[in-house]
Homo-oligomer: A and B are copies of this chain.
Amino acid sequence: MAVYTQVDADDIANFLTDYDVGNIISFKGIAEGVENSNYLLQTDQNHFILTLYEKRVNPDDLPFFLNLMDHLAQKGLNCATPVRDRQGQALKELCGRPAALISFLQGMSINKPTPHHCRQLGQALAQMHNATADFKMTRVNNLSVDGWQNLMDQCIDRADNVIPGLSGILQTEMKWLGDHWPEHLPSGVIHADLFPDNVFFRGDTLSGLIDFYFACTDILAYDLAICLNAWCFETDGSFNITKARNLTRGYHNVRPLSTAEYDSLPLLCRGAAMRFLLTRLYDWLHQVEGATVTVKNPREYLEKLTFHQAITSASAYGLE
């Protein structure tokens, strides 16, 4: 968590002359977002987030992300949305970096989600999927099966140093997922990173979704599988079936899952666990000594993967 590009008051005042957003009163660099630099701006009209896109984001992907947020907002979803300047441009440049002014979304992420939160999450996820049915742009998911293989190749030699036996587990699972990954499930735009820190609540009511910078075109039910991994395990590793039931039912009530999607859920959950296991393993093996970004232990996702490997029916996730 850091601000990578330092912006000063003159830069921001100059940047804002292109917009009709009022006069700047204050700005603070915020310690949020591992990938980009974010500033919280207050003008005499409103609050905004100013994002400068750093090197890990491909500039060619930015129109997809910004148009997606715009599209979702126009469909009535609560999400952070880009503000356009007087020329209608959302994607701009500041201090030599691509930059966008984003609406400020009220609410706070929660650390300890309850079943009540999970139900709302399921509903919001399904609403998002429904809302993107007519979204025209596409973006390949670099972190699907081919991407996992690529990550695994870069980690396999040292995997056993992190967790003894891990290299064998990864190779077996990778082979199995490659052989079984479904080809014909309904696909569309998925968020692909809908962890609790990307979902805001006001009080106990979901107030919006943020951080669409992993969004891509992929299997819709895979997004639900990511949420099952991210929201339904307790910190002691146990799986909370009540949360899972609320999440899947919340989703199903808004966008009913087909039989094929239902049957694939255990497999999709294994894939989602594999994806975060591999990225965490990669980050663990490539961390910079002394850096302040906290690297998450990959073991959590090995345990989740092991859990899903033992599941034979989606009924284990609370769906009937």
Contact = CB atoms under 8 A, between A and B. Distances in A.
**Oligomeric state, in number of copies?**
2
B3 A1 contact: yes
Nearest to A289: B290
A1 B25 contact: no
Contact of A27 (B29, B47, B108, B290): B108
B108 A24 contact: yes
| Majority SS at the chain A contact face | loop
A241 interface: no
B289 A289 contact: yes
A26 B108 contact: yes
A32 B26 contact: no
Interface string A13-46: 0000000000111111111100000001010000
Interface stretch (A88-96, A109-117, A302-310): A109-117
A29 B31 contact: yes
Contacts of A25: 106-108, 202
A30 B27 contact: no
Contacts of A8: 110-111
B26 A29 contact: no
A1 B29 contact: yes
A185 interface: no
Contacts of A28: 28, 30-32, 40
A133 interface: no
A105 to B, nearest CB: 8
A5 to B, nearest CB: 11
Contacts of A202: 25
A2 interface: yes
Nearest to A288: B290
A10 interface: yes
Nearest to A23: B203
A31 B108 CA distance: 18
A290 B289 CA distance: 6
A95 to B, nearest CB: 12
27 contacts: A1-B3, A1-B29, A2-B2, A2-B31, A9-B110, A9-B111, A10-B110, A10-B111, A24-B108, A25-B106, A25-B107, A25-B202, A26-B104, A26-B107, A26-B108, A27-B108, A28-B28, A28-B31, A29-B31, A30-B30, A40-B40, A42-B106, A288-B290, A289-B289, A290-B290, A291-B291, A291-B292
